[in-house]
């Protein structure tokens, strides 16, 4: 038996084989002991490889001999595996991991390069949502965001160029939250949540697009738990990536890339 673990800033992702099929499990990172206990009970005597920012902490708690793998290597290798198993092109692409923070890589065949990262990611989504609406449950936040509209919060290019033809598409965002500087005015929770996801989505897309141009590719693969059940983020990111002339893939099970990479290293 072999088990791959990605202990990230927010979630612990676990990948393992069952009847030659990949299976997954996740736990909140605030509950490391529950995850170590689960592994100990499910896979006695298994070979384990751990990656992610909390890998060392996880290993210390688990008190079972285990391997450790560099997070970026695990993530890129797992993402390539998922692409190939889903019959998607996997030779050369930008890999954008929207986790707690966002990390951007260029993957070419068996080479990978970390292009950079930004602090705007899934943690930003959760933090700004909490400040603006008091909500802290991921499922509730993304579910309510579906009913929201960014119209009253975000300033579009067409809002600035009112009455004339803008030099760039009027539908582009000119300023995220650019209509929100009115003390005393209230916005609905759903509109605020839609706009929070909008600023996160447009920011991660912009850095991905620039990275793609820098490396001469147009394929951008998006992974990370921030996309899980999050239609609004998926649509923002895919729509905006296409509008900017690149080809987006929001990889199915992509949030498990790190755990899969760790699993495959055994």
27 vs 177, beta carbon nearer Mg ion: 27
Write down the least CB distance from residue 14 to Mg ion, Å. 13
The residue written with tokens 């070979």 in the block is 47
Residue window 141-160: x/- pattern of binding to ligand ATP, with contact defined by CB under 6 A: --------------------
Indicate which residue of 37, 71, 140, 255 is catalytic.
Answer: 71
Instruction: Work out the widest C-alpha separation in the chain, in whole angstroms.
Output: 70
Cβ contacts of 98 within 8 Å, gap of 6 or more: 121, 122, 200, 204, 222, 223, 224, 226, 227, 233
Does the annotation mark 71 as catalytic? Answer: yes
DSSP calls for 220-251 = EEEESGGGTT-HHHHHHHHHHHHHTT-EEEE-
- The phi, psi pair for 215, rounded to 5°, reads -105, 10
Interaction residues for ligand ATP, span 31-70 (CB under 6 A):
52-53
User: With binding defined as CB under 6 A, does residue 123 bind ligand ATP?
Assistant: yes
Q: Which of the 8 DSSP states describes residue 243?
A: H
Told to check if 8 binds ligand ATP by CB under 6 A, we report: yes
Q: Determine, following the binding rule CB under 6 A, whether residue 138 of this chain makes contact with ligand ATP.
A: yes
The only residue of 9, 166, 170, 178 in contact with ligand ATP, by rule CB under 6 A: 9
Footprint of ligand ATP (CB under 6 A): 8-11, 29, 52-53, 99-101, 122-123, 125-126, 138, 224-226, 228, 255
């Amino acid at each position: 038996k072999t088990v791959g673990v990605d202990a990230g800033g927010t979630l612990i992702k676990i990948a393992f084989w069952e009847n030659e099929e990949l299976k997954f499990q996740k736990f909140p990172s605030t509950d490391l002991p529950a995850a170590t206990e689960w592994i100990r009970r499910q896979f006695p005597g298994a070979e384990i490889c751990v990656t992610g920012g909390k890998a060392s902490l996880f290993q210390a708690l688990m008190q079972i001999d285990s391997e450790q793998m560099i997070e970026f290597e695990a993530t890129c290798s797992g993402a390539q595996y998922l692409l190939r198993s889903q019959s998607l092109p996997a030779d050369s692409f930008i890999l954008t991991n929207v986790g707690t923070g966002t990390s951007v890589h260029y993957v070419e065949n068996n080479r990978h390069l970390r292009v950079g990262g930004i602090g705007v990611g899934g943690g930003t989504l959760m933090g700004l949502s909490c400040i603006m609406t008091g909500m802290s449950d991921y499922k509730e936040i993304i579910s309510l965001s579906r009913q929201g509209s960014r119209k009253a919060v975000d300033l579009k290019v067409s809002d600035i160029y009112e009455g004339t033809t803008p030099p760039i598409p009027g539908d582009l965002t000119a300023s995220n939250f650019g209509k929100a500087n009115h003390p005393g005015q209230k916005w609905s929770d759903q509109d605020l949540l839609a706009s929070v996801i909008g600023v996160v989505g447009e920011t991660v897309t912009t850095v991905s697009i620039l990275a793609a141009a820098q490396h001469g590719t147009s394929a951008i693969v998006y992974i990370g738990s921030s996309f899980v059940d999050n239609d609004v983020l998926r649509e923002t990111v895919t729509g905006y990536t296409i509008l900017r002339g690149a080809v987006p893939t929001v990889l199915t099970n992509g949030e498990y890339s790190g755990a899969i990479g760790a699993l495959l290293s055994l």
